[in-house]
Amino acid sequence: MKTGSRIFTCSATLLFGLAFLWACPFDDTLRAYLDGHFWLPFSRHSESFEKKGIRRISAPFAGMVKSKGFQPLETLRAAYQEIPVPQPYQPVAPAPYDFAKPRRALAAARTDPSLSRRDREEVDLVDAKIDMREGQPDQPASLLSAKKKLEQFLKVARTPELLSEARGWLAHVDYALGDQTAAGKIYLDELNRNGSNLSRETLLTSLKMTYGYDGGQKLLDHLDEYFDTPEHAAFAIQLVTNPHWDDYGRNGYERQYTRRDPRPDRAAQSYARIQRLLALHTDLLASQTGADALALLTMRTALRMGDPPGVLKIAEMIPTGDAIRSEPDFEWMLASAHFISHEYAAAEQPLLDLFKSPRASAGQKAAAAYGLCGVYRKLDNPVEQIRFALYSPQGDRGAYPSDGNEDMSVYFAESGWDFSLLLDAEAPTEALKAFVDKYPDMPGTHLVKYALAVRLARVNRYEESAQLYDSLRETASRQKPADRSQAYELGAETASAIRRAPRMRQLATLYEEANRSDVSSEQLQTARYKLADFIRSHPDQIYFNDHLWSGVQRYALYANTDDRLTGEERQSEIDAERKLKDDQEERWRAYLILRDVIRDAGKTELGRKAAELAVLCVRRIARDRFGRQDELARADVDLSKWLAQK
C-alpha cells in the first residue's frame, strides 16, 4: 500500500512537472534583432484606429425595453425578447424556434394607429431584426431580407439611437453573409462616430471578428473598395501590412513536410497594387495630416513588402524638422530600413530618437533599446550594447512592458540571454570595465560589476576580483531596492559577493604559490596540486556566473546552428561559446592544472594523487553540457591506465 501510494505520488509529481514544462517553456529568444521580422512595422489592431474623445450614448435597443402592458408594441417587444439568442458551442442544438409568434405581434403592432413616429421606427427595426434572428449563414434568404429592410430603414428613419443600432445590425448581417468590406466599414465608422449607440467594446470585438489579424484574403481582394475615405484606406492598408511571424518557430519537421502559410506571401505580392492604389488616391490624403499619413502608409507598405530602399527614399523626401520625423512609427521604420540595408551606423540615430521620444510607448522604447543592441553589436561597441541590453521598461530587466510590445511584432527577449551572453562571453573584459567606469550609477550596473569580477577570476586576476566583490557588497548596503524582486536579486547577489570575496583572496594566494619561480619543482607541483584541489572543490563557485543563467545556459549556446550570423560572426561566436564553457568549468580547469602536475611529477606519490584527482574531475564534468566528450573519455582511459601501471 505504501509503495503504491509512493508510486502514485511520484507519477503525479512527474506528470505535474511535465505538464508545467509543456505549458510554460522557457523563453529561448536570442539575438532577435538578427531576424527579419524583428524589423517589420509595428502591428495594428482595431484599437489603433480609435479616435480619442468620442462620445457615445447607451439607449435601449429596439424591442428590448421591458414590457409592462399589453399594448401591441409592448406585446411585440415581449415576443421579440422571447426569441432565443444563438449560443455558440452548444452541445445539443436547440429546438427550432417558431417565428410565427413575433410575426403575429409585429402585424398587430403595425395596425396600431396610436404609435408615434419613433414607435413606428422601432417596429420597423424589430421587423428587420426578426428576419435577422431567423437567418443563418447557411440559409441566407432571411438574412438578405433583413439586409433589405435595414437599408430601407436607414434611408427613412430619423431617430438617432435607432439609426445607430440599425447600422450595427446591418454590419452584423453583412458579416453573416460574408461581406467583410461592407461590415468592416460600418463598424469602423461607428467606432469613431459621436453619438453612436454601439459600445466601444462591441465595435472593437466586431472589428476583430470581421478582420482577424490582417483581414485575410478577403481584405486583399477588396482593397480598392476601401479607398473611399482616408480612414478606410488607412485602416485597410495598415491591416493588410501587419507583420507576420508565420515561419518563425517552424521546426525542421514542419519545414520538411509542410509548406508555410502562403498568406504573408500573397500580401507581399500585392506590393505593386498597394503602391498603385496609394498613388491613384493621393486626393484622399491631400491635407497636411493626410500627406503625413500617406507618407507613413507608403513607408509601412514598403517595409512590410521587403523594400527598404523604398522606405529610405520616402524618408529622404520629408524635410528635416517636419513633425512627421518625430513620429515613433517614422523613427522605427527609418531605423529598420537602414538596419536591413546593413547601414548599421545610420540606424543608430533614429533608434536613439525613438528611445528618447516622449511620444513613444514603453513597448516602442523597448523595441528601440533591443534594436540598439543589434546596432551596437554590428558596430562593435560593446559598452553601448551593454547599456541598452540593460534597459528595462519596467525597471526589471527582461520584463515585458505593460503595453504588450510582443503584440507590435517586436519581442523584447524575456530570456535575458542576450544580456547574459554579452556579459559572460561576448564583450571583452575591458568593455565591462569601461562600462562600469562610464555608467557607474546606471540601474543594473551591479550586474556588470559582478560579471566583471567573475571574468577577472577566469583570467586569474583574483585580487581585483575580490575587490570588486567587496565593492558590490558595500554598494548593496547603501542601495534601497525599488521592489521585492530587486531586493531579492540584490540580496542574493550580495550574499554571493560576500562568499566569493574571501574565496578569491584564497585563490590569489594559492595561485601566487603555484606560480612561484623561487621554489623547488616538488614544492611548485605541490602548490599547483593544492590550487587544483581548491578549484575543483568549488564547482560553480569561482568561474561560473551564478547570477546570469537561471540554470538554462546550455540552451543559449547554439551559435553552430544560428543561421542569422555572417560566416565570420558565426565562427567567432562558436569560439566564444567554447571558450566560455572551458573558462567557467572549475573541474576542467583543475584537470588542466593536474595534467601538468602529473606530467612534471611523474610516477611519484604526488603524481598518483594528482592523477586520482584528475580522474575525479574528468568523470564529474557534465559532458552533455560541456562538450569535448571524446577528449574527456580519452583522458579518463589514459589516466586510469596510467594509474594501473606499476
Partner 1 sequence: MSSPSVLSLLVACLTLSGCGEALHSQQPPPKWTTGFWLWQGSPARTVVLPAPLDVLYFQAGTIEGGDVYNRGWSVFANLPAELPSAREYWIVLRFGHQSVPDASIAEAVAKRASELRALAQLRHQWNVVGLQLDIDSPTRLLPEYAKFLGEVRKGLPPEIQISITALLDWFHDGTAVTEVINHVDEFVPQFYDVGKPNLYAGGPVVAARLDGATWGSVFNRFQKRFRIGVSSFGRALRVTGGRPEAMSPSYIYNDLAPVDVAGNPAFRLEVSKNAVDELVLTYRATREVSLGYNRFPPGEAIQFILPTSAEIRSATESARKIGGYCSGVIFFRWPSSSEILAMEPDEALAAAGVPPEVKKEPDSIEAIDGGCAAVKCVDIYLLDSTPLRPAPVRYRIHSSEQLEYFLPEGKIPIRMAGPSDLELSLPPYGGRRRMQLGRAVSATRSDFTVQEVK
Distance of alpha carbon 33 from alpha carbon 629, whole angstroms: 33
With vertex at residue 230, the alpha carbon angle to CA 229 and CA 234, rounded to the nearest 5 degrees, is 120
- Least distance to partner 1, CB of residue 257, Å: 4
Give whichever of 176 and 610 is closer to partner 1, judged by the CB atom.
176
- Quick one: which of 421, 400, 455 has its CA closest to 565? 421
- Measured from the CB of residue 566, what is the shortest distance to partner 1 in angstroms? 6
Q: Which is nearer to partner 1, 6 or 342 (CB)?
A: 342
Q: How far is the CB of 218 from partner 1 (least distance, A)?
A: 12
The CA distance from 63 to 80, in Å, is 6
The least distance separating partner 1 from the CB of residue 338, rounded to whole angstroms, comes to 11
Give 342 or 356: the residue with its C-beta nearer to partner 1: 342
Checking 610-615 for CB contacts under 8 A at 24+ apart, the result is 610/525, 610/529, 610/532, 611/639, 611/642, 611/643, 612/643, 613/529, 613/532, 613/533, 613/536, 614/590, 614/639, 615/639, 615/640, 615/643
Q: Which residues contact 509 (CB under 8 A, 6 or more apart)?
A: none
Q: What are phi and psi of 481, to 5 degrees?
A: -65, 140
Query: Considering beta carbons, is residue 26 or 558 the nearer one to partner 1?
Result: 558
Binding footprint of partner 1 on the chain (CB under 8 A): 33-39, 92, 138-140, 178, 247-248, 252, 255-260, 339-340, 342, 374, 378, 561, 563-567, 570
Q: Which is nearer to partner 1, 265 or 483 (CB)?
A: 265
Nearer to partner 1 by Cβ, of 293 and 337: the residue is: 337
For 196, the 3-state DSSP assignment is strand
Compute the residue count for the chain.
Answer: 646
Tell me whether residue 34 or residue 617 sits nearer to partner 1 (CB atom).
Answer: 34
Torsion 324-325-331-333 (CA) sign: positive
Least CB distance from residue 370 to partner 1, whole Å? 12
Nearer CB in complex with partner 1: 342/359: 342
- Concatenating the DSSP letter of every residue in 218-235 gives HHHHTGGGGTTSHHHHHH
Shortest Cβ 339–partner 1 spacing (Å) = 6
What is the smallest separation between the CB atom of 244 and partner 1, expressed in angstroms?
A: 10
Beta carbon of residue 94, minimum distance to partner 1 (angstroms, whole number): 14
b/e 414-445 (16+ beta carbons within 10 angstroms → b) = ebbbbbbbbbbbbbeeebbbebbeebeeebbb
Q: Which is nearer to partner 1, 120 or 570 (CB)?
A: 570
What is the nearest approach in angstroms of partner 1 to the Cβ of residue 404? 22
Are 325 and 318 spatial neighbours (Cβ–Cβ below 8 Å)? yes
